[in-house]
Amino acid sequence: MRVTRRYRFAASHRLHSAAFTEQQNRELYGKCNNPYGHGHDYVLDVTAAGPVQSGSGQVVHIPTLDRLVSERVLRDFDHRYFNADVGEFKALVPTSENIMQVIEDRLMTHWSEVFPGEWPRLEGIRLRETKRNFFELKP
- Beta strands 2-13 and 80-81 are parallel
The whole-model pTM stands at 0.95
| pLDDT tens, residue by residue, 89-98 | 999 999 999 9
Q: How far apart are CA 114 and CA 92, in angstroms?
A: 28
Query: Is pLDDT above 90 for 52?
Result: yes
Whole-number pLDDT of residue 138? 94
121 burial type by CB count under 10 A (0-12 exposed, 13-18 middle, 19+ buried): middle
Among all residues, which ones are annotated catalytic? Answer: 32, 79, 129
Pick the CATH number of 2-137 from 3.30.479.10, 3.20.20.220, 3.90.1300.10, 3.40.50.300: 3.30.479.10
